[in-house]
Amino acid sequence: MTAGVGYLVFHAVAIVPVIAALAVVTRYRLGSRRDVLTGTLVLAGLALLYTTPWDNYLITRGVWWYGDDAVAITFGAAPLGEYLFFVLQPLLVGLWAARFRVETTRPLSISLPERALGLAGAGVVAAAGLVLLGADSGLYLGSLLVWSAPILAIQWAFGWPFLVAQWRPLLAGTLVPTLYLWVVDRIAIGVGLWTISERYTTGFAVPLLGLPIEEAVFFLLTSLFVVQGLVLYVWLVDQLRAVERPDRQSLTALFGGR
């Protein structure tokens, strides 16, 4: 492997070609090409902003580190390739999810108890993370769950009943890229691009694959964030377009709880 460009080579071999292929063959059934790409780019920008502090913190704590020849440039504690991945993963997942159709005729209105239930679900995730943070071995997984809880809270409080109703495209849109990222991540660990600390992980791994459970949960959650965010974005845009006159009364009917 060429010294100093290992992480970038990983993207060039395992991530960018998949994105390019999806960009060519994807049929936009989830929403219009413009809506899907706009939503995906917004999510990519948010992923970069939201993930950077958490990622840098875990690197400084020694939760994972990179091979001597894997890093060309760093910004803060993280290498350039890490920041690129924060943008590339949403593009990969979003382009894959674009092929699945969702029914967006359901009104945006959700009752307050339903919104509270969505918040409570995210609260359970956060609570589990806080429990795990009580031990060194829970640092990676615990911080991951706590970090993910605000995103889940926003998405689930906004529209978990709609997401549940669209479970088939949600599941298909999430699981396939997640499984692919599990495989390429395991390969990257195997060739020494990065190493996961034994001290700060639980020791559990995905059967057969041998991928640390923390890495598996990370890719599952982040792929889910993208698919849920994109589905909710398309739903919101379609419903707003259905309002012929965006006056106060019609918007109240659109968003108001029952």
Classify residue 237 by burial, with Cβ atoms within 10 Å: 0-12, 13-18, 19+. Answer: middle
SS3 250: helix
Burial zone of 17 (CB within 10 Å; 0-12 exposed, 13-18 middle, 19+ buried): exposed
Q: Are the C-beta atoms of 163 and 182 separated by less than 8 Å?
A: no
Per-residue DSSP letters for 193-249? SEEE-STTS---B-TTT--BHHHHHHHHHHHHHHHHHHHHHHHHHHHHHH-SS--HH
Structure tokens at 107: 């009104």
Residue 252 lies in a domain: no
The answer to whether residue 205 is domain-embedded is yes
User: How many separate domains does the chain show?
Assistant: 1
- Please give the residue range of the domain that contains residue 28: 6-245
Does residue 102 lie in a domain region? yes
- The pLDDT, as a whole number, for residue 3 is 39
What are the counts of helices (DSSP H) followed by strands (DSSP E) for the chain?
A: 9, 4
Residue 257 lies in a domain: no
Consecutive 10-residue runs of the chain (258 residues): their mean pLDDT?
66 96 93 93 97 97 91 91 97 97 90 96 98 97 98 97 95 98 96 95 95 98 98 94 62 54
Closest CA to 96 of 36, 45, 44: 36
The reply to whether 121 falls in a domain is yes
pTM listed for this prediction? 0.91
pLDDT of residue 106: 87
- Is 114 among the domain residues? yes
> Would you say residue 256 lies in a domain?
no
**pLDDT at 250 (0 to 100):** 53
Residue 203 lies in a domain: yes
